[in-house]
Amino acid sequence: MSIDTLLVANRGEIARRVIRSAHDMGIRCVAVYVDVDADAPFVRAADEALRLETSYLDAAAILEAAKASGAGAVHPGYGFLSENADFAARVSAAGLVWVGPSPETIEQMGDKIAAKALAEKAQVPILPGSEDLGATGAIGYPLLVKAAAGGGGKGMRIVESAEALEESVAAARREAKRGFGDDRVFLERYIARARHIEIQILGDARGNIVHLGERECSIQRRHQKILEESPSPRIDAGLREAMGEAALRLAREIGYQSAGTVEFLLDDDSGEFFFLEVNTRLQVEHPVTEMVTGIDLVREQLRIAAGEPLGYEQSDIRFDGAAIEARLYAEDPTNEFLPATGTLAAFAPSPTPEVRWDTGVTAGSVIGTDFDPMLAKVIAHAPTRDEAAGRLALALARTHLGGVATNRDFLVHTLRTPEFLAGDTTTDFIDRVKPARSLEPSDEERTRMARLAALWVQGVNRSRAQVLASAPSGWRNARLPDQKLVLDHGETSDTVLYRSLRDGRFRFADGTTAFIHSWGEDAIDVEIGGRRTRARVTRVGDQLIVHGPSGDLLFRERPRFTLPGGEETAGEFVAQMPGKVIALHVAVGDRVSAGDTLLVLEAMKMEHPMRATVDGVVTDVRVSDGEQVEAGALLLVVEPAEANDAQKDTE
C-alpha cells in the first residue's frame, strides 16, 4: 500500500518533525490544532490544518478530521495518544493506516508490570520489584515508586525511608491517575549510580528486526531527560552487543513492528543492566540515533506502516561519530527547574556552529501551562564526543534567547564540565556535579554589556527623535550633566554616565571611550575601550535582553522616578507559576515543622509540593482545594515559631 495523505495527531516540534520527513517522501500532511496553537509553526508547515474544539486527546475528533481531510494514515508523534492502544485500534478499524506498532503490542508494553514479565520470559534481566506495596524488605531503601502505566517521570518517586513511603505512594497514585487514567503503582530497587541506556529498534511486518545502537539519557531532573547522546561513553563493544541482543530477544518475543525503544538501567559500578520498559513510539531523543546512523526514523516508520520491508540487516548498520541532544525548556533552574511561562520575546538560533534545531516555537510564541514547556531540541553531530559537546554548547550560548526563563545557561555549563567531558554521566549527575544554573558574568563583562545597552538605547532615542534628529546624540550647547541610564541585573545595578564627543565617539564617566560601528533596531556593533562587540538586543517594556559573548544578560531600565512599594512578608508562600491547588494540608492556627508538606500545586501536569522551611504556625491561608491560581499569588503564610510565641507573650 502507499500513503499519500498523512494526518499528524500531535503538535509542536514533533508535528513539524514528522511533516518534514513526510514531505520529503512526497506525502501530503494534515495537522490538527486547538485554539491556543492556531498560529503555531507546525500549523503553517502542514498542507491543511483542522481545528479541534476539545483537545489533542479527543480521539473521535481526530478520526473525524482524518475522514474530512481524506487522510489515509495517522502518525501520533509522541505523548498524547501515541501509546493509547484503544486509539490505535480505532484508527485501524476506520480503515486508516496506523503509523506505529499494533494495538496489542502497545497494550502489552503499556503495562510496565506485564512488560517486565514478558522481558523475564525473553531472558532479559529485570530489577527486583513488587506490586505488593508492603514488600519493601526484599527490595530495601532507597526504592522507587513507579506508575504501572507511567512514562516521562510522571508517577515516580524516590523513597529514602519507610516514613516517606505512604506520602510518596499517594502522590504517585494521584499523578498517575491524572496522567494515564490508571493509578496502579509498584515498587522497584533504586540504583543510585546508574545510567539510563536505551536501545533503538526497528521491525517490519515480515519479522525483520534490527537495533540501531544505544542512546544514553542519564542526565535528568525530576526523572525527566535533558541531555541525550549516542553512543554512550560507558558502553564498549561487548556490552553494546549484549544489550542489543537482549533488546532484540524481547522485540522478537512480542513480534515488534515499527520504531520502538527498549530501555535499560545500567549499574555504573558493576556493569549489570536491567530492563525498565519498552516505549512503543518515537522517542524525543531519536535525532541522536539518526545523526550517527544516517537513518531517518520517521521515514522508516512510514515505510513499515505502508508494508515495506526494512531492506537491510543488522550487519548493514554503521555508526559515524557522536551526537548529543539538549532539551531546551522554559523553566527556571535556579528555582528547582520549575516550569516558566510568558512570551518568548527573543528566539534567534545562531547560524554557526551548524547544529540541528527541532523546535515548535518562534520569537513571539506564548509559553503557557497547557503543554510541556520544551521549546526545542538542539542536536550536534561531530567526529568525536568532545567536538559534539563543544559545538552544542557554543550553538546554545550564541543563540539570542529571552522573555521566558530557560535552562539554556544550565545546559551550556553542564556540557562544559570536566565530569561531562570525561563521560561521568550517571543519573545523579546534577546533584553530584552541581553545574552552575545560570549565567554568572564577571563585573567587568556585566558593566561592559550595560554600557553597550545604554548606547543601543541612545540609538533608539535618536532614531525616534522628532526635533533636531540630525544632531549628535546627547548634543548640547551648554555645560550639562552626562546622559544617565541605570540598569539593574539581578541584585546588582550599573549607573551608566556618558556624553557624545564632536568626533562621533562617546566618553563614559571614567574616561573610557566608545565608537558605534553600526546600529540597528535589534543589534549594535560597538567598540568600548578598544574592545569590539557585536550584540543582539531585544527590548520588552523596561527589559533589555542583551546577547553578549557569553550569552544573554537581562537588564531592567530603572525609571527616573519610582513610587514606594510594599515589602514582602517573611514566611509567605507564593505560586511560582500558574497552577491548581490539588491538596491543602493545613489551616490557620496549625503548627508545622520544617519539611512538612503544606500544600501541593499542580502545574505543567506535574505535582509541586510546598514544604515548610522552618517550624512555625500557619497564620493565613488564601486558597482552597481545587482552586486555580496565577503566578505570584499569595497562597499561605507561616510565621516562625519564635516570632509567633513572642507575639503571644506581648498580648
Domain with 283 in it: what CATH number? Answer: 3.30.470.20
Instruction: Specify whether 203 is located in the same domain as 291.
Output: yes
Backbone angles phi, psi at 411, to 5 degrees: -60, -45
Instruction: Specify whether 523 is located in the same domain as 626.
Output: no
Lowest mean pLDDT among 125-139, 236-250, 364-378, 524-538: 125-139
Q: Which pLDDT does position 579 carry in this prediction?
A: 85
Q: Which pLDDT does position 104 carry in this prediction?
A: 97
What is residue 651's three-state secondary structure?
A: coil
Report if residue 302 sits inside a domain: yes
Instruction: Specify whether 141 is located in the same domain as 69.
Output: no
pLDDT tens figures, 88-130: 999 999 999 999 999 999 999 998 888 999 999 999 999 888 8
Q: Which pLDDT does position 520 carry in this prediction?
A: 96
Q: Residue 258: which residues within 8 A CB-CB, separation 6 or more?
A: 99, 100, 101, 202, 203, 280, 301, 304, 305
Count of CB atoms situated within 10 Å of the CB of 41: 16
Q: Which pLDDT does position 69 carry in this prediction?
A: 98
The angle that helices 112-121 and 237-253 make with each other, rounded to 10 degrees, is 110
More confident residue, 636 or 642: 636
Q: Can you tell me the distance from the alpha carbon of 209 to that of 203, in angstroms, rounded to the nearest whole number?
A: 4
pLDDT at 565 over 50: no
Lowest mean pLDDT among 86-95, 172-181, 294-303, 514-523: 172-181
Beta strand 5-8 with 73-75 is parallel
Instruction: Specify whether 593 is located in the same domain as 625.
Output: yes
Q: Which pLDDT does position 563 carry in this prediction?
A: 40
Per the DSSP assignment, residues forming a β-bridge with 157 are 145
Q: Which pLDDT does position 152 carry in this prediction?
A: 63
Report if residue 47 sits inside a domain: yes
Cell of 305: 506502516
Q: To 5 degrees, how large is the angle CA 258–CA 260–CA 264?
A: 160
Instruction: Specify whether 205 is located in the same domain as 340.
Output: yes
End-to-end CA distance of the chain: 84
Instruction: Specify whether 200 is located in the same domain as 183.
Output: no
Q: Which pLDDT does position 127 carry in this prediction?
A: 87
Instruction: Give the residue numbers spanning the domain of 48.
Output: 5-99
Count of CB atoms situated within 10 Å of the CB of 300: 20
Q: How far is CA 643 from CA 91, 443, 571, 640, 647, in A?
A: 63, 38, 11, 5, 6
pLDDT at 569 over 90: no
Q: Which pLDDT does position 604 carry in this prediction?
A: 64
Domain boundary among 407, 433, 459: 433
Backbone angles phi, psi at 288, to 5 degrees: -65, -35
Domain boundary among 404, 433, 462: 433
Contact 143, 189 (CB under 8 A): yes
Q: Can you tell me the distance from the alpha carbon of 227 to that of 415, in angstroms, rounded to the nearest whole number?
A: 9
Instruction: Specify whether 362 is located in the same domain as 225.
Output: yes
The total number of residues shown for the chain amounts to 651
Of the pLDDT bands very low, low, confident and very high (cuts 50, 70, 90), residue 647 is: low
pLDDT at 11 over 60: yes
More confident residue, 641 or 176: 176
Report if residue 356 sits inside a domain: yes
Q: Which pLDDT does position 437 carry in this prediction?
A: 96
Instruction: Specify whether 343 is located in the same domain as 201.
Output: yes
How many domains does the chain fold into?
5
Q: Which pLDDT does position 473 carry in this prediction?
A: 55
Report if residue 627 sits inside a domain: yes
Q: Can you tell me the distance from the alpha carbon of 607 to that of 601, in angstroms, rounded to the nearest whole number?
A: 6
Report if residue 113 sits inside a domain: no
Sheet containing strand 129-130, strands side by side: 129-130, 185-189, 143-151, 154-159
Instruction: Specify whether 426 is located in the same domain as 477.
Output: no
Q: Which pLDDT does position 466 carry in this prediction?
A: 58
Q: Please name which of 301, 248, 307, 258 lies closest in space to residue 103, comparing C-alpha atoms.
A: 258
Check which CATH number belongs to the domain holding 78 and give it: 3.40.50.20
Backbone angles phi, psi at 338, to 5 degrees: -65, 140
Q: Please name which of 478, 481, 488 lies closest in space to residue 454, comparing C-alpha atoms.
A: 488
pLDDT at 545 over 90: yes
Contact 261, 283 (CB under 8 A): yes
pLDDT at 559 over 80: no
Check which CATH number belongs to the domain holding 178 and give it: 3.30.1490.20
Contact 230, 248 (CB under 8 A): no
75: left (phi over 0), alpha (psi -120 to 50) or beta: beta
Which of 251-278 are b and which e, b meaning 16 or more Cβ less than 10 Å from the residue's Cβ?
beebebbbbbbbbbbbbbeeeebbbbbb
pLDDT tens figures, 484-499: 999 999 989 999 999 9
Check which CATH number belongs to the domain holding 475 and give it: 3.30.700.30
Contact 230, 323 (CB under 8 A): yes
Report if residue 263 sits inside a domain: yes
Cell of 541: 517594556
Q: Which pLDDT does position 241 carry in this prediction?
A: 96
Q: Residue 642: which residues within 8 A CB-CB, separation 6 or more?
A: none
Cell of 95: 480503515
pLDDT at 304 over 60: yes
Domain boundary among 557, 590, 621: 557
pLDDT tens figures, 234-277: 999 999 999 999 999 999 999 999 999 999 999 999 999 999 99
Of the pLDDT bands very low, low, confident and very high (cuts 50, 70, 90), residue 478 is: very low
pTM: 0.83
Report if residue 564 sits inside a domain: no
Average confidence (pLDDT) over 57-68: 98
Report if residue 115 sits inside a domain: no
Q: Which pLDDT does position 560 carry in this prediction?
A: 59
Of the pLDDT bands very low, low, confident and very high (cuts 50, 70, 90), residue 603 is: confident
pLDDT at 480 over 90: no
Of the pLDDT bands very low, low, confident and very high (cuts 50, 70, 90), residue 9 is: very high
Instruction: Specify whether 493 is located in the same domain as 533.
Output: yes
Q: Please name which of 324, 315, 317 lies closest in space to residue 291, comparing C-alpha atoms.
A: 324
pLDDT tens figures, 173-209: 998 888 788 899 989 888 888 999 999 999 999 999 9
Of the pLDDT bands very low, low, confident and very high (cuts 50, 70, 90), residue 568 is: very low
pLDDT at 230 over 50: yes
Average confidence (pLDDT) over 561-590: 73
Instruction: Specify whether 265 is located in the same domain as 321.
Output: yes
Give 166-171 contacts, CB < 8 A, sequence gap 24+: 167/597, 169/133, 169/145, 171/600, 171/607, 171/609
Q: Please name which of 329, 403, 381, 369 lies closest in space to residue 605, comparing C-alpha atoms.
A: 369
Q: Please name which of 244, 548, 216, 269 lies closest in space to residue 389, comparing C-alpha atoms.
A: 216
Q: Which pLDDT does position 223 carry in this prediction?
A: 82
Percentage of the chain modeled with pLDDT above 70? 93
Q: Which pLDDT does position 564 carry in this prediction?
A: 40
More confident residue, 433 or 176: 433
Count of CB atoms situated within 10 Å of the CB of 492: 12
Q: Which pLDDT does position 266 carry in this prediction?
A: 97
Cell of 407: 535552562
pLDDT at 154 over 80: no
Lowest mean pLDDT among 399-403, 472-476, 598-602, 611-615: 472-476
Supply the mean pLDDT for the chain: 92
Instruction: Specify whether 257 is located in the same domain as 343.
Output: yes
